[in-house]
Structure 1
Amino acid sequence: MKYSIFILIFILCCCTNKRENESAEKNQKVIVIQPLGNFDSKQSQKVFSEIKAINPKVILKQNIEFPETSFYKPRNRYRADSIIKSLKNKIGNDSVIVGLSHFDISTTKNNIVDWGVMGLGYMPGKACVVSDFRLSKKNRNNQFYKLVLHELGHTAGLAHCNIKTCLMRDAEGGNPLDEEKDFCKKCKSFLKDKGWQLI
């Protein structure tokens, strides 16, 4: 009798966990990777492979030109907010899209009309954009992947995090990506509930 109760509890726990996992997977959006302009195909393929490890629902698109309205001539760079506005209309409700850029990007921040950024994503949102223009030459590929995860975290609904080693840390105008190790426990738990397959 005693063992029967343990077996019954074990079965109930397994069924509950299976339902929770299935529910989380159902919530996971398709991630669409959209290279912009002359973005390197090997680098976009690398991002695709890395994202696929945490979400099997990922699609890599062919390069497209930057939206015409996104070019900011006075600073010879592209407006991240305009790129996002254009990209979000290219996908369905079950998807989120991330634009990949080699060119510098900017947005309006506080009283600064054209503030250069490494990436931009709204919280929650359907689109984000990242650029490797401001990344260090030394760890560029690793930093770029962290940046992609950071902006996708915003689209999933995560705000900036106060933990300095968390991928959701606010850059505050600098580049702390080498100090960031992983999502903190709280941010990771949030993303797992959204269907991200994080260890």
Structure 2
Amino acid sequence: MKQLFCILFFGILLFSCSNGTTKGDYIEADTLCSTPQCVIVLQPYEDFSKKEVEKLLPKLQKAFGEWLYGYWEFKIANPIRLPQNSYVKERNRYRVTPILNYESKQLTGYEVIIGLTHKDICTDIHGHKDYGIVGISRPLKQVSLVSDKRLKEKSLMWKPILHEFIHTFYGAKHCPNDDPTCFMKDAKGHGNFKIQDKLCDACKQ
């Protein structure tokens, strides 16, 4: 009898997963049963070596597995030079727009490219031109860039990488609670990655 009940239960569950519908505020079963899948290409630039990416990889795998629901496949690309037209000689920085444009042209499917560099990167933000930043991404456009130049603790680079991935993959905004311990808090030029150790309840949603 118990075996029959189990068969009927899983049969109903499988049927609902393949034939879900949307009613009112309910989410259709197809969405509930699907698992996000993504190939994440880690693209090192300039003197960011492949060995450094390999050292960083276990931290990323652990963080993605712990905080994000889905199946994530990581691939490490060979180091390449930053686009020449991205260099700002006066500031010895690299503008992010040409770099993200380059990455966008490299997309071949549903992967996300995360650029990694030791160089100082910049963009026009907060009323400043060529403002130095740690990371940037294009929401839902599958490209991002992170630099450890401004990180006091280089070993924490996985945190801004996670932050930018959530922006570009999910299209999520910064933490609405401005929680200093949340991975999605807007750094506003003064980020404290050392104390960020979670996604707050709002950002989990």
* TM norm structure 2: 0.78
Does structure 1 residue 129 correspond to structure 2 residue 145? yes
Post-superposition offset of 1:14: 7.4
Does structure 1 residue 146 correspond to structure 2 residue 159? yes
Match of 1:160 in 2: 174
Match of 1:120 in 2: 136
Post-superposition offset of 1:58: 1.4
1:50 to 25, 50, 59: 59
Higher RCO (CA 8 Å, separation ≥ 6 residues):
1
Aligned length: 184
Aligned-partner Cα distance in 1 for 2:162–2:197 = 12
* Higher Cα Rg, which structure: 2
Match of 1:96 in 2: 112
Structure 1: 5+ residue stretches without partners: 190-199
Post-superposition offset of 1:66: 0.3
Query: Which residues in structure 2 correspond to 1:70-109 (within 5 Å)?
Result: 70-109=86-125
Aligned-partner Cα distance in 2 for 1:180–1:33 = 22
Post-superposition offset of 1:38: 0.4
Structure 2: 5+ residue stretches without partners: 19-29, 66-70
Query: Which residues in structure 2 correspond to 1:22-37 (within 5 Å)?
Result: 23-25=34-36, 28-37=37-46
Match of 2:47 in 1: 38
Instruction: Note if contact 1:71-1:78 (Cα within 8 Å) is conserved in structure 2.
Output: yes
Identical-pair percentage: 33
Aligned-partner Cα distance in 2 for 1:42–1:89 = 25
* TM norm structure 1: 0.80
SS of corresponding position for 2:90? helix
CA 1:37–1:29 in structure 2 vs 1: closer, same or farther (change >3 Å)? Answer: same
Aligned-partner Cα distance in 2 for 1:160–1:86 = 25
Instruction: Note if contact 2:38-2:73 (Cα within 8 Å) is conserved in structure 1.
Output: yes
CA 1:21–1:109 in structure 2 vs 1: closer, same or farther (change >3 Å)? Answer: same
**Alignment-mate amino acid for residue 147 of structure 1:** P
Post-superposition offset of 1:24: 1.7
